[in-house]
Every structure is written in structure tokens, then in C-alpha cells.
């Protein structure tokens, strides 16, 4: 009789012990990467982050000197690397150094899955609002074959996309463009994409049109796809993600604020469906990021992640939202920075953790760029507190 009772008791103890040893989600880890005064610069802006083929984290920002303004400010594109998943970081590496007459900024990053090269796309020259069809602001590309240690000189790809010398009839109405900073996209078949915000000749803010640029050779040559993602235009800085069935989803900054705008293409960008609004994804007219979380870390689930300030009016409360239905709804959202904060960029680390690079602060006195490492389970857990609280929003 004693043996009969002992076995169920041991099984019960095992179940209880197993339940007690389930590790709760770790709290996010925050590391400041760029701040006023670092390396002689008063201002830093525009975060972009990617995980290189060897697992190295590459965090990029604009080093804006004594002026916080956009181009034609004399800006440098700078990088810090981490080989230990964001615990420690290298000294800054310059990808593009400004000259007396030309600055560089608003970087977007993507890893070419075929070669492992990192491709960095950025703007240069006169800036969006001074650009004309005859003397346009420039689009440049630099690449690294050694996981961000060294970079090729900036290559001007503007004539491939628009302006004088471009033979693509789709570019005829365009007088200015720049790539949306943060993340570009590598499709499953190796095609590279980035979204641009473009102005049409004779039209001023608003509106901005969104187009997609494509490369079939690892980012060495590019072409502008012919159809804007929404007509009439409803966008600005925008990001792309590939859905599980091969369709393209674009998340568009809403210049009118309110909810984030989106559109879907079922024919690889030849046409786009009617644009919609994510009412469960607030957008204060701010750049954000959208990426797919790998199934090998999600238990086979289709998961999209979207970073954006969780506010429909002000740039504050940068959060990460989770979608389980290919972007139809965003039922889970957790605040990472409960304070004034703006642009953000996402990546997935080589162990399944999530990396977030965020502008923290406000225009006055300026932003700091912070890296955050967190777990998917933390996003999905019932929040008991907000991470990264530095000031009231």
C-alpha cells in the first residue's frame, strides 16, 4: 500500500518542481550607445540596427555635430559593433564621413543572404526639400564584407533610381526621395528591397509618395518599381516585411497622425491593394520598424513585431507590438521606453532575443541612442511594470 501511494506522490512532486523551475521572462537590458558630447558631436539621431551573418550586432546612427537638423546638415553615418549580443560595444566606426559640401544620413541596413555582406543605404547632399528634378538629393550605398568592420566608399546610385540620367519612366514625376531609415528587407529568395519617401515635381509637404526599390544582385544595382504604394499618397517613412505566403506588407508613417497606415501587394510590388489603417497601432507621425520573428524561436508560429511610439499624437512610449495573424491585428503591445522617445529599429539576435535601437529623449535638448535586449516572452507576458522609464511623457 505504501509503494502504491508513494508513486503518485513522487509524480506530483515532479510536476510541482517543474512548474517552479520555469524561468520568468528576464527584464530588458538597456545600454546607451550615443549621447551628446560623444566623440565631439552634440547631436545624434536616426537609429538603425541589424544582426550580421556571424551574429555581430551593428548599430548605426547619424552623428550630427552642432546642428540637429536633417540634410543638408553636414552629417556622418557612424556604427558601433557588438560581438557579445549587446553587452559591450566597439568604438564608433565611420561608414560615411561628411565633406565641406556634402553630408550623409538616414541609414537603412540589410544583410544580403547570398553573400553575407551588409548593405547600408543612406541619403546625401541637399536634402529632401531643396531637391529638384534637375539637381536631386542623392541616394548612396556602402557595403561591408567583414560584418561591419570596414566599409566600401559611398556609391551614388541616384541615376539608377531617378533624376537626370535615369531611364526608368516610373521616375519621371519624382523630384526628391530618400530611403526610410532603420531596416531594409531581404526576401526569402534573396531579393533586397527598401522603401523610399518621394516628392513629386511641383508638390510640397504634404504629400509624400512611397515607392519600393529592388535589387536582384545583392545590392549592387537597383531599380525603382513603377507603382506607388498608395494613391492618393498617405505615407512617409515606411518599412516592408514579407508575409508567409510571399505577399509584401508595407507599414507607412501616417503624416496626419492617429493610426499607422499599411498596404499589401500580392504581385511583388507591381500593384498595391487599397491602403488601410491599423487602429490598434497608434502613430504620432513617426518612423518605426516592422520585422518577422523567426519560426525556429517562436515554436512555429507566424509572428510579426512592430516598434512605434504607443501614442497617436506625441513621440513617447516607444513600444513593441506583436501580430499573430500576418499584420491583420496587433493584440499584444508592451512599452519599452515610458518617456519621450522617437525613431526605433528592430533586429533578432542569433539566440532569439530581440534587439531594439531607440531615440530616447526629445528635440530639446536632443536624443540619446539606446540599445535594448529583450525576450519575446517578456513582450507576451502580462506587464507588471514598464521598462526604461527615465522621464514622464
Residues 146 and 118: their CA atoms lie apart, in Å, by 8
Per-residue pLDDT of the chain (393 residues; tens, 9 = 90+): 444 444 444 444 444 444 445 678 899 999 999 999 999 999 999 999 999 999 999 999 999 999 999 999 999 999 999 999 999 999 999 999 999 999 999 999 999 999 999 999 999 999 999 999 999 999 999 999 999 999 999 999 999 999 999 999 999 999 999 999 999 999 999 999 999 999 999 887 768 999 999 999 999 999 999 999 998 888 899 999 999 999 999 999 999 999 999 999 999 999 999 999 999 999 999 999 999 999 999 999 999 999 999 999 999 999 999 999 999 999 999 999 999 999 999 999 999 999 999 999 988 889 999 999 999 999 999 664 445 544 455
| Alpha carbons 296 and 162: distance in angstroms, whole number | 40
Provide DSSP, 46-109.
EEEEEE-TTS-EEEEEEE-TT----TTS--EEEEEEESSTTSS-PPPEEEE---SS--EEEEEE
Residue for cell digits 541609414? 107
User: What burial letters (b/e) apply to 239-248, b meaning 16+ CB within 10 Å?
Assistant: bbbbbeeebb
Cα–Cα distance for residue pair 348/248, rounded to 1 Å: 20
Fold designation for 44-380: Neuraminidase (2.120.10)
Q: What is the pLDDT of residue 25?
A: 86
Torsion of CA 185, 332, 253, 98, to 10 degrees: -60
Q: CA 242, 243, 247, 250 torsion: positive or negative? A: negative
Tell me how far apart the alpha carbons of residues 156 and 165 are, in angstroms, rounded to a whole number. 13
What's residue 202's pLDDT? 84
Q: Computed from CA positions of residues 68, 73, 74, 77, in that sequence, does the dihedral angle turn out positive or negative?
A: positive
Q: What was the pLDDT predicted at 385?
A: 43
Selection from 363, 281, 381 nearest residue 323 by Cα: 281
Amino acid at each position: 500500500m505504501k509503494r502504491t501511494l508513494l508513486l503518485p506522490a513522487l509524480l506530483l512532486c515532479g510536476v510541482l518542481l517543474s512548474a517552479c523551475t520555469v524561468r520568468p521572462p528576464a527584464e530588458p537590458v538597456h545600454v546607451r550607445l550615443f549621447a551628446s558630447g560623444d566623440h565631439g558631436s552634440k547631436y545624434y539621431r536616426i537609429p538603425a540596427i541589424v544582426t550580421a551573418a556571424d551574429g555581430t550586432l551593428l548599430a548605426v546612427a547619424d552623428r550630427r555635430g552642432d546642428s540637429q537638423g536633417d540634410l543638408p546638415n553636414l552629417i556622418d553615418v557612424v556604427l558601433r559593433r557588438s560581438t557579445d549580443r549587446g553587452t559591450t560595444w566597439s568604438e564608433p566606426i565611420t561608414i560615411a564621413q561628411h565633406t565641406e559640401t556634402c553630408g550623409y544620413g538616414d541609414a537603412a541596413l540589410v544583410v544580403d543572404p547570398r553573400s553575407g555582406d551588409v548593405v547600408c543605404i543612406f541619403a546625401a547632399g541637399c536634402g529632401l526639400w531643396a531637391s529638384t528634378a534637375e539637381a536631386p538629393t542623392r541616394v548612396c550605398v556602402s557595403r561591408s564584407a567583414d560584418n561591419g568592420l570596414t566599409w566600401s566608399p559611398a556609391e551614388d546610385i541616384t541615376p539608377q533610381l531617378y533624376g537626370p540620367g535615369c531611364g526608368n519612366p516610373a521616375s519621371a514625376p519624382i523630384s526628391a526621395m530618400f530611403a526610410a531609415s532603420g531596416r531594409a528587407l531581404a526576401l526569402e529568395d534573396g531579393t533586397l528591397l527598401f522603401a523610399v519617401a518621394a516628392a513629386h515635381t511641383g508638390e510640397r509637404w504634404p504629400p509624400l509618395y512611397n515607392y519600393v526599390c529592388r535589387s536582384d544582385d545583392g545590392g549592387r544595382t537597383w531599380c525603382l518599381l513603377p507603382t506607388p504604394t498608395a494613391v492618393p499618397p498617405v505615407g512617409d517613412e515606411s518599412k516592408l516585411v514579407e508575409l508567409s505566403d510571399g505577399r509584401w506588407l508595407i507599414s507607412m508613417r501616417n503624416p496626419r497622425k492617429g493610426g499607422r497606415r499599411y498596404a499589401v501587394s500580392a504581385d511583388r510590388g507591381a500593384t498595391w491593394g487599397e491602403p488601410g489603417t491599423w487602429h490598434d497601432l497608434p502613430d504620432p507621425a513617426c518612423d518605426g520598424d516592422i520585422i518577422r520573428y523567426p519560426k525556429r524561436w517562436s515554436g512555429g508560429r507566424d509572428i510579426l513585431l512592430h516598434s512605434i511610439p504607443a501614442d497617436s499624437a506625441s513621440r513617447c512610449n516607444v513600444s513593441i507590438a506583436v501580430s499573430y495573424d500576418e499584420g491583420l491585428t496587433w493584440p499584444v503591445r508592451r512599452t519599452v521606453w515610458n518617456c519621450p522617445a522617437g525613431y526605433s529599429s528592430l533586429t533578432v539576435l542569433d539566440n532569439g532575443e530581440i534587439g531594439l535601437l531607440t531615440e530616447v529623449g526629445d528635440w530639446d535638448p536632443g536624443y540619446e541612442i539606446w540599445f535594448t535586449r529583450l525576450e519575446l516572452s517578456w513582450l507576451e507576458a502580462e506587464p507588471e511594470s514598464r521598462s526604461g522609464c527615465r522621464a514622464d511623457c
